[in-house]
Amino acid sequence: MLLPLLLDVLLLLLLVGAVARGAAAGFLFTLGSVIGAAIGAILAFLLIPFITTWIAEPTWRATAVFLAIVLFVVGGLSLGERIGHVWRRGVARRARPLDRVGGAIAGGVVSLLVMSLVGSTVTALGIPVVSTTTASSTVLRTIERFTPDPVASALGQVRSLVVSEGIPRIADALGDVVPPPPPVIDAQNPELRRAGQSVGRISGSAFACGQVQSGSAFVIAEDRLLTNAHVVAGVDEPTIEFPGVGGLAGRVVYFDGQQDIAIVAVDELPVATLALGDTIAVGDVGAVQGYPWGGPFVSGGAEVVQVGTISSPGIDGEGAFPRDTYTLAAEVNPGNSGGPVLALDGTVVGMIFAKAQNRDGIGYAHTMAELDPVIAAAPGLSASVSTGSCSR
Question: How does DSSP assign 143-180, residue by residue?
Answer: HHHHS-HHHHHHHHHHHTTTEE----EE---STT--PP
Contact 257, 314 (CB under 8 A): yes
* 246 has pLDDT over 90: no
Model confidence band, residue 89 (pLDDT cutoffs 50, 70, 90): low
Per-residue model confidence (pLDDT) at position 90 = 57
Structural domains of the chain sorted by starting position, each given as residue range(s) with its CATH number in brackets: 1-147 (no CATH), 164-391 (2.40.10.120)
Indicate yes or no: pTM above 0.75: no
What number is the average pLDDT over the span 40-48? Answer: 73
Q: What does the pLDDT look like over 55-78, one tens digit per residue? A: 666 556 666 766 777 788 778 877
Contact 8, 45 (CB under 8 A): no
Pairwise CA distance, residues 377 & 359, whole Å:
35
Mean pLDDT score across all residues of the chain: 83
Contact 242, 289 (CB under 8 A): no
Of 102-111, 112-121, 228-237, 367-376, minimum mean pLDDT range: 112-121
Mapped onto helix, strand or coil, the DSSP state of residue 300 is strand
Per-residue model confidence (pLDDT) at position 95 = 46
Q: What does the pLDDT look like over 168-194, one tens digit per residue? A: 777 665 565 678 899 999 989 999 999
Contact 77, 83 (CB under 8 A): no
Per-residue model confidence (pLDDT) at position 208 = 66
Identity of the residue numbered 256 = D
What number is the average pLDDT over the span 83-104? Answer: 67
In 3D, which of 39, 47, 165, 62 has the Cα closest to residue 113? 39
Pairwise CA distance, residues 390 & 117, whole Å:
24
* 120 has pLDDT over 80: no
Per-residue model confidence (pLDDT) at position 322 = 92
* 130 has pLDDT over 80: no
Alpha helices in the chain (DSSP H): 2-25, 27-54, 58-88, 96-125, 130-135, 138-146, 149-159, 190-196, 229-232, 368-377
The region that residue 160 occupies, defined by phi over 0 for left and psi between -120 and 50 for alpha, beta otherwise, is alpha
* 358 has pLDDT over 50: yes
Question: What phi and psi values does residue 101 have, to the nearest 5 degrees?
Answer: -60, -45
Contact 30, 17 (CB under 8 A): no
**Pick the residue with more confidence: 53 or 19?**
19
Q: What does the pLDDT look like over 158-168, one tens digit per residue? A: 555 545 446 77
Mapped onto helix, strand or coil, the DSSP state of residue 37 is helix
* 94 has pLDDT over 60: no
Q: Which of 135-144, 151-160, 230-239, 272-281 has the highest mean pLDDT?
A: 272-281
In 3D, which of 198, 202, 156, 161 has the Cα closest to residue 387? 202
Q: What does the pLDDT look like over 249-305, one tens digit per residue? A: 899 999 999 999 999 999 999 999 999 999 999 999 999 999 988 778 999 999 999
Residues 6+ apart with CB under 8 A from 324: 279, 307, 308, 309, 366, 367, 369, 370
* 115 has pLDDT over 90: no
